[in-house]
Chain A
Amino acid sequence: MAEYFQDYITVAVFAGFGALLVAAAVGVGWLLRPSRPSAAKATAYECGIDPVGGGWSQTHIRYYIFALLFLIFDVEAAFIFPWAVRLEQLGLFALVEMVIFIVILLAGLVYAIRKGVLKWES
Chain B
Amino acid sequence: MSLLERLFANVWFTAAVKVVAAFALLLVAVILLVWIERKIVADMQNRIGPNRAGPWGMLQTVADGLKLLFKESVVPRKVELGIYLAAPIAAMVPAFLIFMVIPIGRPFTIGETAVTLQVTDLNIALLFVLAMSSLAVYAVVLAGWASGSKYPLLGGVRATAQMISYEAAMGLALVPVVLLASAQSAGDVGLGTMSLSRIVELQQGSFRWMIPGWFVFWLAPSFVLYFIAAVAETNRAPFDLVEAESELVGGYHTEYSGFRFALFYLAEYLNMFNVSALAVTLFFGGWLGPDFGLPPWIAWVMPLFWFFLKTFLLVFLFIWLRATLPRLRYDQLMDLGWKRLIPLALVWLMLFALVTAFRTWGAPWTEALG
Chain A residues within CB distance 8 Å of chain B:
6-8, 10-11, 13-15, 17-19, 21-23, 25-26, 28-30, 32-37, 41-47, 51, 55-57, 59, 63, 66-67, 69-70, 73-74, 77-78, 80-81, 84-89, 91-92, 95, 98-99, 102-103, 105-106, 109, 113, 118, 120-121
Contact = CB atoms under 8 A, between A and B. Distances in A.
B89 A23 contact: yes
A43 B127 contact: no
A33 B69 contact: yes
A54 B13 CA distance: 53
B32 interface: no
Given A55-B148, A56-B153, A118-B335, A73 B168 contact: yes
B69 A32 contact: yes
A112 to B, nearest CB: 8
Contacts of A42: 74-77
A118 B334 CA distance: 8
Given A77-B172, A120-B334, 13 more contacts: A8-B122, A11-B100, A18-B96, A45-B249, A55-B153, A59-B154, A67-B161, A70-B164, A73-B171, A74-B134, A84-B176, A95-B354, A120-B330
A43 to B, nearest CB: 7
The A interface, classified by DSSP as helix, strand, loop or mixed, is helix
B182 A55 contact: no
Given A29-B73, A95-B353, A7 B342 contact: no
B19 A84 contact: no
B276 interface: no
B342 A73 contact: yes
Contacts of B176: 84
Contact of B150 (A10, A13, A29, A44): A44
Contact of B343 (A6, A41, A69, A106): A106
Interface in B63-121: 68-78, 88-89, 92-93, 96-97, 100, 119-121
Contacts of A74: 134, 164, 167-168, 171
Interface in B328-353: 330-331, 334-335, 338-339, 342-343, 346-347, 349-350, 353
Nearest to B151: A45
6 contacts: A11-B100, A15-B93, A15-B97, A22-B88, A29-B259, A44-B76
Interface stretch (B1-9, B50-58, B355-363): B355-363
Contact of A88 (B11, B93, B120, B182): B182
B72 A66 contact: no
Contacts of A36: 72
- Closest CB pairs A-B (n = 3): A120-B331, A77-B171, A44-B149
Interface in B228-284: 249, 254-255, 258-260, 263
Interface string B303-331: 00000000000000000000000000011
Nearest to A113: B339
B207 interface: no
Interface stretch (B41-49, B186-194, B209-217): B186-194
B338 A33 contact: no
Given A98-B353, A109-B343, A85 B19 contact: no
B41 to A, nearest CB: 26
B348 to A, nearest CB: 11
A92 B357 CA distance: 8
Nearest to A110: B343
B157 to A, nearest CB: 5
A57 B157 CA distance: 11
B148 A66 contact: no
B157 A29 contact: no
B179 A87 contact: yes
A24 B231 CA distance: 30
B135 to A, nearest CB: 10
Contacts of B186: 88
Nearest to B267: A22
A64 to B, nearest CB: 9
B15 interface: yes
Contacts of A98: 350, 353
